[in-house]
Structure 1
Amino acid sequence: MNFKNNKILSALLLLTLTYTTGCYKDKSNDGLTPINTVQITDPLTAGTVTVFQGDVLRLKPTLTLSMTEKMDKLEFSWLVYNSNGQISLASPRAVISNQYELNYLIQGEPFILGEPYIVRLAVKDTETGVISYINYKVSIGNKYGTGWLVLEDKAGNGDLSFIFPDSTVEHQIYSSRNTAPLVGPKKLELTPFVITDGISDVGKRLYILAETGSQEYNYLTMVKKFDYGFEFYIAPTIQKPTVMTWLSTTSGSTRSANIGIVINNGKAHSNLVGGFPGTKKWGDIALTPQGTTNYSLAPYAVGGPGVAAMIYDNTSKRFYNIIAFSNTPGAGSLTAFPAIANTPGQFDLNNVGKTMIFQDSSDVVHTYNSVMKGDDNLPYLYRYKTANTSTATPNLSISNIQMNAPGILNYTAAASSTNTGHIYYSNANVISRYEVGSNSIVETYTFPAGENVTAIKYAKYNFNDKEAVKRARLVVGTWNGTEGKLYYFALSQTGSIGSYTKQFTGFGKIVDLAYKY
């Protein structure tokens, strides 16, 4: 009985205390100080903000204060972290600004190209300690992802320009992001597929070859990564690169590197990417089958399903094969091709007897056009393939003819079509269209006097040209002694040059072009 009375008494006491406390809070409201409330809004938070590397991320949300005079009592903090859950659910946080309006240059850490981020603004009322937040979803893009990369010579130093798919142009890309001069620019080398050499992060490669200062650059930002010598186990004593590329035995969108080839000072160096783990660099000078370095290579290297790397020696005037990684001693060395039967139309890869002056892809996949100069000072066209269809002896050679192509031995720039059987080449200010089938010049185009052609590249596809007639493009660089210009020619389905469709100005002397994608 006493136990029940105690429970009732305790309940009554608790009720009384609760009632009393409530009354105290109600009565105390008369003495409260008004609190400043902060609201942060921005319609940009409904989507994803994309900002390019090298540009400034600008964010300025709207602040709504219940007491506007308290603005000076606010503290701001912009925080960023990677929101890719596959990388880490606890990504490092970095404060990038303490200003109300964010103006942050996207260049290196903490931002990585292609990754998603949360950029958070925290607004703290220093009087009350109350913090308000707003989150932005930000993606880092690369505006130099697709377009024509142009290598220029400006009074002996190299620079880069970029032509975007919408035909806008940006100049001085190299000089705006690299401090070391690029002396004597010669060639662009871009890989169309991903490389896993262990030197750089997995991805495509960009090399710029020059008289001095040849280097590897970040494929996305075009900022210098490594000097030329760093790419070798032992840097060459003489550095005169003409080729620095990666070759694949496959084709299409699934290509991957089987071997890396450098031609430096006329000698071959290889990178056997598939044979061992860890960092892979270019090795020492490759030797001939006789164990010597008595050779001088033309500046071309190609590969395919039938041969890892095919090169041409202008000393012995013959082709060599470089085998990719294997358990045989021949890997990475110059290797002769097996003898072939005396088949009409074919030629002996090991005994051509002429000097190669130009080579490019043809209108047949894995087939190449090689222009040779004979001892008779006449031009010859040798066609061969890197896809072997014979299980007995290789049938890589296709044909050879004496060319009826006036001026081709002294060409200034050239490119083969991969749509039609044509080679486009220039002498001074004239472009000639040579037709393989008829062995003749079928069309010429003439620029103004004094505006000479310095570079030609053929592009089979362009994403902005939807009409079938514009599915191929010839890109031509010229120089008049003062200014470099670049032209687009929308080739017809039969390869006709016609008239140029676009002109771009403001370049230095254009020495090379490459389509970046």
Structure 2
Amino acid sequence: MSSCYKDKGNYDIDMPTEPVVTGLDTLYHAVAGDSLIIEPQITGIPAEHLSCSWRIYVPEEISPEHNRYEGNSLRIIFGLQAKRYRVRLTITNTDNGMQYFHSSYIQGITEFSVGSLVLSQDDGVTKLSFVKPDNTVQPNIYEAINNEELPPDPRHLHFLRNANTGNLPLAYWIITKQGGVRLNVNDLQKETIKPGTLLENFFLPPETITVGSLQNHRQGVLMGTINGKFYGGTTSTWDQNDYYGMFGAYAVGNYTLAPQFVLTTIGGNASMIAYEQDKKQFVRLLVQLGPTYFGTQYTVKDTVAFDPRAVGLELVQIVQINSADTYAYMQDANGQIFELKFTAAFTENPFTFSPLHKRLFARQEWIHADTKMLATQNGYIYIAAENKIFRYNPLNQQILELEANFTHPVTMLKLDDDQNTLIAGSGNSIYYLDIRTGRNGNITGEINGIPGQPIDMVWRK
């Protein structure tokens, strides 16, 4: 204390001169197999006292000495994957030993890093096409790269990304009725180290596989109904691990689920609304350590509209608006289609199911197992019927036919990321429809030359 008291602090501090770095971007794009040059300008330190080193942080590298380089500039052949890597430049003033650090990022890209994949069916044969950003179609891309045909009966095409790691691309999955194939996102090759087929994605595979439907979980794994049971990919390990996303045992319980279900994510918590086919009741599933079946362990607000534990109908289609209002289209023994509206607070406590209405649907002929329909955040439901698309407002039952005209039946409906564009597949083409406020589905663009009828589509922008 006395020493601090006597210290007057009247001394000069001679701070070393810091280097000035210019021409260093925050993000560089590097084509796999091509040259990468990062050449910043460094001033403020005499050249004879300047030493620079570079390190690219590669999580999957085995030796820490790899991906380290010396020199004022980084000049390499980029041989890493089409992922994002952090690179650090270390500047050392050899005269006084001071070091200065500057970080950037390298985004590896391939010819398939930007564009769309289209799953289609051509005379019973499953096809995959790649669509370049200029809408040029490379048909039969899977056969060309992998020298084999895809399994028959295509159902879904999934682009898996992990939202917890900045939407890191993990895989493409082509799902068919009896199986599926996993593709590397960088080169579209069938995986060889990680599970390459849906059967290989099980730790204990069943004897046969019949896919109901599968959806993307926000952590980049598949979840859904297979053989009437609910499966979910494991997320308990690193997302680059070969076992990430594999199916363990199905959610334990005595049940047989309808193929359709709703996956809801609120605040990072995922819950599922499904339908038990034998008992004719809506059931609850949650993701805890894995998918967990809770059945009818929920509180029913009232049963005036209908009793969710004893519905007595067959589920045909189900959609949800904005993680809230859910519409189930259900058929009775006489073939009549009813619209059931409800909300299910399965991520809250207490778990509450609120039936809101049950009524005959106005357009009975539209609803069947293959109906293409989807809901938007602003409350509309779009339904394809033969070669037309209709916008349905379930609040007032208003139905409006979109302007777009098609000469073939609509076989695919998708929403663009901003939900301002409806993407429809018809014939051998894909059409982009404007559904912004005040617009009525006029065609704003199209892609031609798809082999067969489009079934599903994903994209990377």
TM-score of the pair, normalised by structure 1: 0.62
Q: Is the 8 A contact 1:304 1:386 kept in 2?
A: no
Q: Is the 8 A contact 2:270 2:347 kept in 1?
A: no
- The answer for the alignment partner of 2:249 in structure 1 is 284
Tell me by how many angstroms 1:502 deviates.
1.2
Tell me by how many angstroms 1:513 deviates.
2.1
Tell me by how many angstroms 1:233 deviates.
1.7
CA distance, structure 1, for counterparts of residue 421 and residue 174 of structure 2: 24
- The answer for the alignment partner of 2:175 in structure 1 is 209
CA distance, structure 1, for counterparts of residue 358 and residue 161 of structure 2: 30
**Closer, same or farther: CA 389–58 of 1 in aligned 2, 3 Å:** closer
Gaps of 5+ in 1: 1-44, 60-80, 95-103, 118-136, 248-254, 462-470
- The answer for the alignment partner of 2:258 in structure 1 is 297
Q: Is the 8 A contact 1:433 1:441 kept in 2?
A: yes
- Counterpart residue identity of residue 429, structure 2: K
C-alpha distance after superposition, 1:151-194 (max 9, x if no partner): 11234333323445554544333223223321212211233534
Is residue 149 of structure 1 aligned with residue 110 of structure 2? no
Tell me by how many angstroms 1:477 deviates.
0.5
Alignment RMSD (CA, Å)? 4.2
Structure 2 counterparts to residues 53-64 of structure 1, below 5 A:
53=32, 57=34
Q: What is the identity percentage for the equivalent residue pairs of Structure 1 and Structure 2?
A: 17
Q: Is the 8 A contact 1:371 1:380 kept in 2?
A: yes
| Higher RCO (CA-CA < 8 Å; seq separation 6+) | 2
- The answer for the alignment partner of 1:122 in structure 2 is none
Q: Is the 8 A contact 1:424 1:433 kept in 2?
A: yes
- The answer for the alignment partner of 1:359 in structure 2 is 318
Larger radius of gyration: 1
Tell me by how many angstroms 1:270 deviates.
3.5
**Closer, same or farther: CA 367–437 of 1 in aligned 2, 3 Å:** closer
Is residue 489 of structure 1 aligned with residue 461 of structure 2? no
- The answer for the alignment partner of 2:142 in structure 1 is 174
Tell me by how many angstroms 1:220 deviates.
4.1
Structure 2 counterparts to residues 67-466 of structure 1, below 5 A:
83-84=55-56, 90-91=65-66, 111=81, 113-115=83-85, 140-145=108-113, 147-164=115-132, 167-184=135-152, 185-194=154-163, 203-212=169-178, 214-225=180-191, 226-247=196-217, 256=219, 261-271=223-233, 273-274=235-236, 279=243, 281-288=246-253, 292=254, 295-305=256-266, 308-325=271-288, 332-333=292-293, 335-342=295-302, 347-362=306-321, 364-388=322-346, 391-392=349-350, 394-410=352-368, 412-445=370-403, 447-449=405-407, 451-461=408-418
Q: Is the 8 A contact 1:474 1:490 kept in 2?
A: yes
- Counterpart residue identity of residue 446, structure 2: Q
Q: Is the 8 A contact 2:262 2:320 kept in 1?
A: no
CA distance, structure 2, for counterparts of residue 395 and residue 504 of structure 1: 43
Q: Which moved more, 1:267-276 or 1:186-195?
A: 267-276
CA distance, structure 2, for counterparts of residue 272 and residue 116 of structure 1: 27
C-alpha distance after superposition, 1:198-238 (max 9, x if no partner): xxx97544321124551222234432222212211211211
Q: Is the 8 A contact 1:182 1:212 kept in 2?
A: no
**Closer, same or farther: CA 263–160 of 1 in aligned 2, 3 Å:** same
C-alpha distance after superposition, 1:454-506 (max 9, x if no partner): 11112251xxxxxxxxx611111112xxxx11111111315622x21112110
CA distance, structure 1, for counterparts of residue 168 and residue 35 of structure 2: 31
Query: If each structure's strand is expressed as a fraction of its own residues, which one has the higher value?
Result: 2
Q: Is the 8 A contact 2:230 2:291 kept in 1?
A: no
**Partner of 2:162: helix, strand, or coil?**
coil
CA distance, structure 2, for counterparts of residue 389 and residue 93 of structure 1: 47
CA distance, structure 2, for counterparts of residue 304 and residue 111 of structure 1: 30
**Partner of 2:34: helix, strand, or coil?**
strand
**Closer, same or farther: CA 217–367 of 1 in aligned 2, 3 Å:** farther
CA distance, structure 2, for counterparts of residue 516 and residue 404 of structure 1: 38
CA distance, structure 1, for counterparts of residue 236 and residue 106 of structure 2: 37
Residue of 415, 421, 424 corresponding to 1:473: 421
For these two proteins, the number of residue pairs brought into alignment is: 386
Q: Is the 8 A contact 2:261 2:275 kept in 1?
A: yes
CA distance, structure 2, for counterparts of residue 455 and residue 513 of structure 1: 8
CA distance, structure 2, for counterparts of residue 361 and residue 142 of structure 1: 36
- The answer for the alignment partner of 1:64 in structure 2 is none
CA distance, structure 1, for counterparts of residue 115 and residue 349 of structure 2: 41
**Closer, same or farther: CA 448–489 of 1 in aligned 2, 3 Å:** closer
- Counterpart residue identity of residue 350, structure 1: R
**Closer, same or farther: CA 218–86 of 1 in aligned 2, 3 Å:** closer
**Closer, same or farther: CA 180–145 of 1 in aligned 2, 3 Å:** same
C-alpha distance after superposition, 1:407-442 (max 9, x if no partner): 212475423242433222223222222221221422
TM-score of the pair, normalised by structure 2: 0.69
**Partner of 1:181: helix, strand, or coil?**
coil
Query: If each structure's helix is expressed as a fraction of its own residues, which one has the higher value?
Result: 1
**Closer, same or farther: CA 213–182 of 1 in aligned 2, 3 Å:** farther
- Counterpart residue identity of residue 34, structure 2: L
**Partner of 2:288: helix, strand, or coil?**
coil
CA distance, structure 2, for counterparts of residue 387 and residue 195 of structure 1: 24
Q: Is the 8 A contact 1:194 1:203 kept in 2?
A: no
**Partner of 1:425: helix, strand, or coil?**
strand
CA distance, structure 2, for counterparts of residue 390 and residue 139 of structure 1: 39
CA distance, structure 2, for counterparts of residue 386 and residue 298 of structure 1: 19
Q: Is the 8 A contact 2:402 2:440 kept in 1?
A: no
CA distance, structure 1, for counterparts of residue 416 and residue 81 of structure 2: 33
- Counterpart residue identity of residue 411, structure 2: T
**Partner of 2:155: helix, strand, or coil?**
strand
**Partner of 1:407: helix, strand, or coil?**
helix
- Counterpart residue identity of residue 474, structure 1: L
**Closer, same or farther: CA 331–430 of 1 in aligned 2, 3 Å:** closer
- Counterpart residue identity of residue 284, structure 1: A
CA distance, structure 1, for counterparts of residue 122 and residue 293 of structure 2: 38
- The answer for the alignment partner of 1:69 in structure 2 is none
CA distance, structure 1, for counterparts of residue 183 and residue 401 of structure 2: 39
**Partner of 1:358: helix, strand, or coil?**
strand
